[in-house]
Amino acid sequence: MGIEDLTLDQLVALGWTFQGPDEVTYDGETFYELRVKELPGFVVSNPEHDQVLAELNDALWTHLNAIRQAGRQPTVPENFPWQTTVPSTHVPPVIETEPQEEQQSVGLGNLITA
């Protein structure tokens, strides 16, 4: 499965790298901004910290939709592809991981258990 096969809801649920929310001041007014490392043109801004988080999923969905409407695909997180559970509506991204089996490797005569 490639990025082009994912629905917008599945794209929103990917393991994006969120930066912020950071407090910034423009013309004497304080705002909180949240960005996504993989999407340089994406920013959510609001005077209230909690509102930035509340608006994140809808803003991300809209941004990803605009990229697709322009005939492009977004840059995806480094760990794509992976298994995700995708809800039918916009909700905070959740990444489910499978329990890792214990691995053993031998190096320089020492047994290392990870």
Nearest CA to 87 out of 57, 50, 64, 63 is that of: 57
Q: What angle do CA 49, 76, 100 make, to 5 degrees?
A: 90
pTM flag (> 0.85): no
Contact partners, residue 52, CB within 8 Å, separation at least 6 = 20, 21, 32, 33, 34, 44, 45, 46
Residue 82 has a pLDDT of 52
Reported as a single tens digit per residue, the pLDDT across 19-35 is 999 999 999 999 999 99
> Hey, where are the domains in the chain?
3-113
End-to-end Cα spacing for the chain:
30
> Residue 108: left if φ>0, alpha if ψ -120 to 50, beta else—which one?
left
Residue type, 88: S
Residue 81 has a pLDDT of 61
Reported as a single tens digit per residue, the pLDDT across 50-92 is 999 999 999 999 999 999 999 999 988 877 665 444 444 444 4
Residue 2 has a pLDDT of 78
Residue 1 has a pLDDT of 66
Average pLDDT, the chain: 77
Region 5-15: what's the mean pLDDT?
90
Residue 20 has a pLDDT of 93
